[in-house]
Structure 1
Amino acid sequence: MDENDQLAERFEAHRSHLKSVAYRMLGSLAEAEDVVQEAWFRLSRSDTSEIDNLAGWLTTVVSRICLDMLRSRSARREDPLDVYLPDPIVSRADSGAIDPEQEVLMADSVGLALMIVLETLSPAERLAFVLHDMFAVPFEEIAPIAERSPAATRQLASRARRRVQDAPAPDADLARQREVVDAFVAAARGGDFEALVAVLDPDVVLRVDIGAANKPIFGAAAVAGQALMFQSAAKYAQPALINGVPGLVGVQNGRVTAIQSFTITDGRVVEIHIIADRARLAGLHIDFPAA
């Protein structure tokens, strides 16, 4: 094995960790993969004799690339109220096991609800929170990446932490969550408006990534009405795990048509997020056979 092969082998040992960092930073699986590949290119062109801590060096490189991408994304976003729906990690509800790489990505309970909260943070806040609170990187190491002092970086993480703590806390009982999702599906299939309202929190919010509904819809009545508009699609909904918690995947003619995630608190749905854009779904490469 030559020196380059040895370096590639050492890099591969860190790939899952690096993708996990990039996914939390960006909320995009494809972009996370691109960032990890760019980190390899930079490593292969570097003098590795000067790298004492390869894991730390690679984490720093990935973090810098992600921070630049987040800043670019923020500059392009026209409406500050728009919230990008992160890429979901989807598996069958009855699979019994999660792909090892998916398991790494979902470690530390990184549910889609949390990922959506991360989208509301500034790039620097997200960097500080993800690296410190999710990966235990010391503020002294984060500060040079954020181009702030350690004290200022600590404040960034603190502000992000308060935002995260203010977000709805999902119920811990996954079986109970599945019961609520099943009740939602049954009500939608049956066209039962009152039953839909009963499983929704009065202040529920719905976000969809296409059409007129790509702006948030608030309130149980409005969300229930939206669900009834797509009553015919409900019959294609199948149970799934979305970032480790119960959700739905719509499958028609062998093609995934929608991914629906739920945040359930105190036995009621407080948030629903739907990804239905065809191009985006195709890019996620989800293999989910029809029932």
Structure 2
Amino acid sequence: MTDDPERDAHGTDAREDDGDGDPRDDARAELADVIDERRRLLALAYRMLGTTGEAEDAVQETYVRWYRMSDAERDAIANPAGWLTRVAGRVCLDLLGTARARRERYVGPWLPEPLPAGYFAAGSGAAATSAPAVSAGVAGGSVTAQTDAAPDPLDRVTLDEAVSSALLVVLEAMTPPERVSFVLHDVFAVPFPEIAEIVGRSPAAVRQLATSARRRVAAERSRQVSRAEHDAVVAAFAAATQAGDLAALTRVLDPDVTLRSDGGGLVSAARKPVFGAENVARFLLGLLAKNPADRVEPTATTDGTGFAVLRDGVVIGVVNLNVVAGRVADLWIVMNPEKLGAWRD
């Protein structure tokens, strides 16, 4: 193995040419394979960094390092996909190292970027998705809803839960090595010895990091409800909001509910969290009353059914809800336009 782990991600045995076929065809096939890895790398980087913008930057840097090598150096890498994964992990680790300082300077609460359901599975940034389990339309700052019992496909649920806001909030509280270890091993099945080279720890230490992260994630998942229950609670939430019924809305909220709004200092948003069922209910109803021209429409997100806020036909916000034990425990409202690109494509 060479001294440079970026040039020996999964072995350095050069490929042998058996003399059959045009070598240019092999080169073109390899290039296609490398480019095809982009979507997977974006999914990996998003889980580590929490926004598609930072994920794009990480993947771009990964490819820069790939093409910076000579043809001979690239040919010596037996598994380009493995190499790209390791380098992307290292780039993300470096970015996470500076992220804490950026979060401290961030105006108001920082939230992960919300994504449409099936965003990475579809291989597109388009926000078009299957019909949500709650069908609703909002005009004049009000919300209407009716339930639809059609369940989501199991594979969609699995993929979406891996990039849900609930999970990303948990990942955000981890140390950079802990987060990288968990995502690489538990989500992308990278062996511990390889992760150890990325984070600069021993394989045993990396295993402990992943185990610690897994406990945190398991604790969060133990609180989660089924997608059907989530969407039923969202339907009740929408109905109470549409009716302007403070008592009904308060009942659907957990007594210790927390509302966080992320405007990033670029648009108007609450700069401090709102705590408690009555405070959150009054805040939401007041927000709708102050913006009667806005439309609030249900949409399928990676957290289940949520809401898109539209002004003049443009999405200006996305609302995700975390349902625990039949009530809304968290509301995440992202208004930062830099985090809404997936909803505007």
> What CA distance in whole angstroms lies between the structure 1 residues aligned with 2:30 and 2:100?
35
- Contact 1:262–1:272 at 8 Å: present in 2 too? yes
> What CA distance in whole angstroms lies between the structure 2 residues aligned with 1:104 and 1:67?
28
Note closer, same or farther for the CA distance 1:191–1:167 as it changes in structure 2 (3 Å cut): same
> What CA distance in whole angstroms lies between the structure 2 residues aligned with 1:196 and 1:93?
27
Tell me, yes or no, if structure 1 residue 201 matches structure 2 residue 254: yes
Structure 1 residue 185, shift from structure 2 partner:
2.0
User: After superposition, where does 1:28-67 map in structure 2 within 5 Å?
Assistant: 28-46=51-69, 47-67=73-93
- Contact 1:208–1:273 at 8 Å: present in 2 too? yes
Match of 1:176 among 229, 234, 237: 229
Tell me, yes or no, if structure 1 residue 160 matches structure 2 residue 183: no
Note closer, same or farther for the CA distance 1:105–1:38 as it changes in structure 2 (3 Å cut): farther
Note closer, same or farther for the CA distance 1:190–1:239 as it changes in structure 2 (3 Å cut): same
Q: Deviations over 1:11-66 (max 9, x none)?
A: 12322211111110111112212222222221122211221221211100100111
Tell me, yes or no, if structure 1 residue 248 matches structure 2 residue 302: no
Structure 1 residue 10, shift from structure 2 partner:
1.7
> What CA distance in whole angstroms lies between the structure 2 residues aligned with 1:117 and 1:89?
17
Tell me, yes or no, if structure 1 residue 213 matches structure 2 residue 282: no
- Contact 1:209–1:276 at 8 Å: present in 2 too? yes
Higher normalized contact order (CA 8 Å, seq sep 6+, divided by chain length): 2
Note closer, same or farther for the CA distance 1:107–1:219 as it changes in structure 2 (3 Å cut): closer
> TM-score normalized by structure 2?
0.73
Code of the aligned partner of 1:57: W
> What CA distance in whole angstroms lies between the structure 2 residues aligned with 1:124 and 1:45?
26
**How many residues of Structure 1 are paired with residues of Structure 2 in the alignment?**
279
> TM-score normalized by structure 1?
0.86
- Give the structure 1 partner of residue 344 of structure 2: 286
SS at match of 1:184: helix
SS at match of 1:60: helix
> What CA distance in whole angstroms lies between the structure 1 residues aligned with 2:338 and 2:104?
21
Structure 1 residue 271, shift from structure 2 partner:
1.0
> What CA distance in whole angstroms lies between the structure 2 residues aligned with 1:255 and 1:166?
37
> What CA distance in whole angstroms lies between the structure 1 residues aligned with 2:96 and 2:241?
37
> What CA distance in whole angstroms lies between the structure 1 residues aligned with 2:157 and 2:29?
24
Structure 1 residue 79, shift from structure 2 partner:
7.5
% identity of equivalent residues:
42
5+ residue gaps, structure 1: 97-102
> What CA distance in whole angstroms lies between the structure 1 residues aligned with 2:338 and 2:332?
17
- Give the structure 2 partner of residue 100 of structure 1: none
> What CA distance in whole angstroms lies between the structure 1 residues aligned with 2:324 and 2:181?
27
- Contact 2:262–2:335 at 8 Å: present in 1 too? yes
Note closer, same or farther for the CA distance 1:239–1:76 as it changes in structure 2 (3 Å cut): closer
Structure 1 residue 186, shift from structure 2 partner:
2.2
Structure 1 residue 95, shift from structure 2 partner:
7.3
The structure with the largest alpha-carbon Rg is 2
Tell me, yes or no, if structure 1 residue 224 matches structure 2 residue 293: no
Note closer, same or farther for the CA distance 1:285–1:238 as it changes in structure 2 (3 Å cut): closer
Note closer, same or farther for the CA distance 1:5–1:105 as it changes in structure 2 (3 Å cut): farther
- Give the structure 1 partner of residue 131 of structure 2: 94
> What CA distance in whole angstroms lies between the structure 2 residues aligned with 1:285 and 1:183?
25
Note closer, same or farther for the CA distance 1:108–1:286 as it changes in structure 2 (3 Å cut): same
Code of the aligned partner of 2:247: E
Match of 2:318 among 239, 254, 259: 259
- Contact 1:108–1:134 at 8 Å: present in 2 too? no
Residue range with higher mean Cα deviation, 126-135 or 176-185: 176-185
5+ residue gaps, structure 2: 1-23, 117-126, 134-155
Tell me, yes or no, if structure 1 residue 272 matches structure 2 residue 331: yes
Structure 1 residue 128, shift from structure 2 partner:
0.8
